[in-house]
Amino acid sequence: MRCRETRTEREPFDSADREIILAVNDPEQLDYVDALPMTDEEQDAKFSQVAGVSVFSSEGTTEAIYSAAGAVIRGSDLVVEEYYETAFAIIRPPGHHAHKISEGFCFLNNVAIATQHVVDHHHIERALVVDFDVHHGNGTQELFYGSKQVLFFSTHRRDLSYPASKSSVNDIGDGVGLGYNINVPLKKGFNDVDMLYVCDQLLGPVATAFKPEVVFVSAGYDAGEGETIGGCNVSAKGFGTIVRKLLPLSGGKMVLALEGGCNLVHLPICVSHTIRAILGDEDAFLQDSDYRDKLPFKSTIRTVNTIKHNLRLCWDVFKEKPSVILNNSAVPIFVNVFFLVNLYLHYFCSFMQ
């Protein structure tokens, strides 16, 4: 892949080890993955307990599933061990809907598996998972809902029929994990201004208080312009800006994994802007002056205020009105980014060449 060779590298990786996956998933779920492909009838007859809605398979699906998880695990190892500052796993299938059940085009939750891996094997005590896919990351939420080692933060469109999960502002975790699950449901058509308002008013303050040692990003681009299913208007520069704001939170240690995105014209542009924003290319992200004076939807402001109210007993930062604002200009430029690709995305490679 010829994409700014002096600043990025492409790394090899292996398929995910079963023992690492089993820290998150049950053996029966791996039995199901190993048996693919199969018809819907076979799936219903043999694996109804672990196979949910909208999972489809063909020859090579099993290998792709293990490969996708392996890519994110490899990325997390090299970032946590400080071989690289940032990794982007360009993978299929995605994973953020999968939990103990495979569903929504997701078989195994790649980000959750890698997150649990760094907690178990690298003794990470605080990991932040940010999911900006237009669909709620129900699988990741389900797997970490009672944990205070993993702070899960999801922005998503509130009126989509899938997933029918606990994705409201009131779903803030359970037990010791109370306050460590944050859902930001937004109205149809939300855009850069809405997303960056959420980043500045919610994500920035809570993440700064949390002090993550590593940040995982479920990078779904179906909230972007041109994505008919998503019906929203986040620009490629908007995505670049979001990721740019995340870099300082963990000293630049960030692992991104591709989630949603169906528009084959829009998707590679968004991914390339994300990568170039991480590298510091100023034409890949918005400047503060591009959006600071613009107002988000009134519903976005109400949602943010409600979330602050709900979290006020969990996070001291929300007991007071002032919020931490993450400024792009304060973000250092990191020059070592690498890619882990388990599927030949010819449109992406062509775009980057």
Number of independent structural domains in the chain: 1
From the candidates 97, 117, 136, 156, give the one annotated as an active-site residue.
Answer: 97
Find the mean pLDDT for residues 51-72.
Answer: 95
Q: Decide if 73 is inside a domain.
A: yes
Q: Decide if 114 is inside a domain.
A: yes
pLDDT in tens, 286-298: 999 999 899 999 9
Contact 257, 216 (CB under 8 A): yes
- Which one, of 168, 107, 117, 105, lies nearest residue 141 by Cα? 168
In Å, what is the CA distance from 79 to each residue of 87, 89, 183, 189, 339? 7, 12, 27, 35, 12
State whether residue 36 is helix, strand or coil: coil
Q: What is the pLDDT, as a whole number, of residue 115?
A: 99
What's the pTM? 0.90
The answer on pLDDT for 99 being more than 70 is yes
The β-bridge relationship of strands 8-10 and 254-258 is unpaired
The answer on pLDDT for 337 being more than 90 is no
Q: Residue 158 burial by CB count (10 A; 0-12/13-18/19+): exposed, middle or buried?
A: middle
Q: What is the pLDDT, as a whole number, of residue 40?
A: 85
The answer on pLDDT for 332 being more than 90 is no
Q: Decide if 3 is inside a domain.
A: no
Q: Is 97 a catalytic residue?
A: yes
State whether residue 290 is helix, strand or coil: helix
- Rounded to the nearest 10 degrees, the angle between the axes of helix 61-80 and helix 27-35 is 130
Q: What percent of the chain has pLDDT over 90?
A: 84
Q: Decide if 237 is inside a domain.
A: yes
pLDDT in tens, 254-300: 999 999 998 999 999 999 999 999 999 999 999 999 998 999 999 99
Tokens representing residue 245 in the block: 């704001």
The answer on pLDDT for 154 being more than 70 is yes
The answer on pLDDT for 352 being more than 80 is no
Q: What is the pLDDT, as a whole number, of residue 165?
A: 81
Which CATH number characterizes residue 167's domain? 3.40.800.20
Q: Decide if 2 is inside a domain.
A: no
Q: By residue range, what is the domain housing residue 300?
A: 13-352
Q: Decide if 6 is inside a domain.
A: no
Q: Decide if 7 is inside a domain.
A: no
